[in-house]
Amino acid sequence: MENFKREEIARGVHFSAIRDERFKTSRIAVAMLTDIDKEKAPALSTLSGVLAHSCEEYPTFLELSRKLDSLYGTTLTGSSGKRGENQIVILSASGINDSYSLDGESVYEEMAKLLCSVLFKPNVKDGAFSEEDFLQEQRQSLDAIDGLFNDKRAWAKKRLFEEMCGNEKYGINVLGTKEQVKALTAKKLYEQYKELLKTARLEIICLCANDTENVKKIFTEQFSSVERAVDLGATEIVTKADKVREVKDTLDVNQSKLMLGFRTGCAEPDDGAEAVKLMTAVLGGTAHSKLFNNVREKQSLCYYCASGFDPLKGIMTVESGVEKKNIEKTKNAVLKEIEDMKNGIISDEEIENTKRSLTNSYMTSVDSSAGTLSWYLSQILKGRDRTPREQADVISKITKEEIVEAAKKLSLDTVYVLTSNGETETEEEE
């Protein structure tokens, strides 16, 4: 990867610089990874919000927001999510390049300082985050947990993973429960924060047109006083489902959601995961895929029917929104397409079309600053250094036999259905 430099600046802390002059903005992200833990996860999720807002120099939400807006709408965001069976907390900043400022001031340096400021000098009193900051983010977390239920497609996905991976760390929802979030305190959160800085794997990535030495120096200095020890576990891969679990929830909905979860038996860094990626995309990753053509276009069963693959965990999902009476019919239609793939019913054209489509999405992803940063972060975390072109080349070499092999390894683990309470006249159709 050209214009890319990564170096260790403290134990388990790496600083990467990406020089790119195409964008009108600069972006810095600090990614912190830990093992996912049911007890600690909600604290880290709430912490991701506190980190983006708690600042000794600008102690209130209003003051910090004012500072950011006067820096031409610079953004400072904290997020938390799952990456395999790790929890990842990302604190990131983005702002316009200095050459676009109206009065010639340096936005980039101020932005980098602010990011360091919230990360290393949050608003702390007596060994705890300020009560105001804490309560504010605790409330945001509680609302976010409730908000999950508002989006039924996302809700169905969450429910699938809870059921399918109930005995694996992957089944942990990082937002946690409302009881867990209510039990948090400003002090507990501060202790989590201290522990995070000491034990998380840290990747700092700086994407900009400027020199990054200064920013690197600030981070190096800050970490020189932190005693670090990183211990990051691997993701557990369940290779095969023993039996199919069927789970149904009922709610007052107009459209039923069907979610299928499959074990693929293969996950990164295993090279076989590339064939699973391509197999998943041939099945339902494009507007010319098997599911799109046969379940949507030919049978008019749904508006969306798509497959997705998490290469870190080795799970493939298929999701669709359908009429209640068509749930079984749609499930069978999806399973038929998978059977076809197992039997080698895949045309060369389908394979070539999907390879082109994946190539296009890899190449396009780095035409945005957020996309570029996330491409590099994902490569770093995978321990790889592929460019989008190199990744496309890996995909292009996959053969039909490898796709069929990948399909043969699929085992259906869980069928999740979210549907309405009412009677349905033709449920037994088909």
Partner 1 sequence: MNIRTVESKLVKDKYHIIDHPSGLTIYVYPKEGYKSTYAIFGTNFGSVNTRFTVDGGDEITVPDGIAHYLEHKLFESEDGDAFARYALTGANANAYTSFEKTCYLFSCTEKFEESLEILLDFVQSPYFTAETVAKEQGIIGQEIKMYDDSPSWRVMFNTLVGMYQKHPVRIDIAGTVESIAEITAEKLYDCYNSFYNLHNMVLCVAGNTTVEQVLKVADKMLKPCEAHNVESLFEDEPYEVGQTIIEQKFPVSIPMFHLGFKEDVSSGSISSEEAAYTDIALFALASQSSPLYNKLLDEKLINTSFDFERMEGPHYAAVLFGGESREPKKAAEIIKEYIAKAKENGIPKDDFERAKRAVYGNIISDFNSNENIANVLADMHFEGRELFAYVDAAANATLENINERLSKMLDVDNCTLSVVYGEEE
**Applying CB under 8 A, which residues contact partner 1?**
21-25, 60-62, 65-66, 68-74, 94-96, 99-100, 102, 107, 136, 139-140, 143, 146-147, 149-153, 251-255, 286-288, 292, 296-297, 300-304, 321-323, 349, 353, 356-357, 359-361, 363-364, 366-369
Residue closer to partner 1, measured from CB, 221 or 367: 367
Least distance CB 245 / partner 1 (angstroms): 24
- 258-295 burial string, b = 16+ CB within 10 Å, else e? bbbbbbbbbbbeeebbbbbbbbbbbbbbbeebbbbbbb
Residue closer to partner 1, measured from CB, 25 or 379: 25
Residue closer to partner 1, measured from CB, 297 or 430: 297
Least distance CB 235 / partner 1 (angstroms): 30
- Residues 41, 176 contacting (CB under 8 angstroms): yes
Nearest to 170 by CA among 238, 230, 78: 238
Residue closer to partner 1, measured from CB, 8 or 349: 349
Residue closer to partner 1, measured from CB, 76 or 260: 76
Position of tokens 């053969």? 399
**Torsion angle, alpha carbons of 320, 324, 328, 332, to 10:** -30
Q: Which tokens in the block code for residue 347?
A: 């045309």
Residue closer to partner 1, measured from CB, 337 or 413: 337
CA contacts within 13 A on the Cβ side of 188: 15
* Helices 61-70 & 107-120 angle (0-180, nearest 10): 160
CA distance 351 to 357: 10
292: DSSP letter: I
Residue closer to partner 1, measured from CB, 152 or 188: 152
Residue closer to partner 1, measured from CB, 231 or 349: 349
Residue closer to partner 1, measured from CB, 127 or 147: 147
* Helices 400-408 & 273-284 angle (0-180, nearest 10): 90
Residue closer to partner 1, measured from CB, 151 or 385: 151
Nearest to 136 by CA among 37, 34, 55, 40: 55
- Torsion angles phi and psi, residue 78, rounded to 5: -120, 135
Least distance CB 310 / partner 1 (angstroms): 21
Least distance CB 21 / partner 1 (angstroms): 7
Least distance CB 291 / partner 1 (angstroms): 13
CA distance 370 to 374: 6
Least distance CB 329 / partner 1 (angstroms): 11
Least distance CB 330 / partner 1 (angstroms): 10
Instruction: Decide: residue 151, CB within 10 A, 0-12 exposed, 13-18 middle, 19+ buried.
Output: exposed
CA distance 215 to 110: 11
Least distance CB 359 / partner 1 (angstroms): 6
Least distance CB 66 / partner 1 (angstroms): 5
- Residues 111, 71 contacting (CB under 8 angstroms): yes
Cis peptide before 311 (omega within 30 of 0): no
Q: Which tokens in the block code for residue 316?
A: 């493939």
CA distance 257 to 157: 9
Least distance CB 201 / partner 1 (angstroms): 28
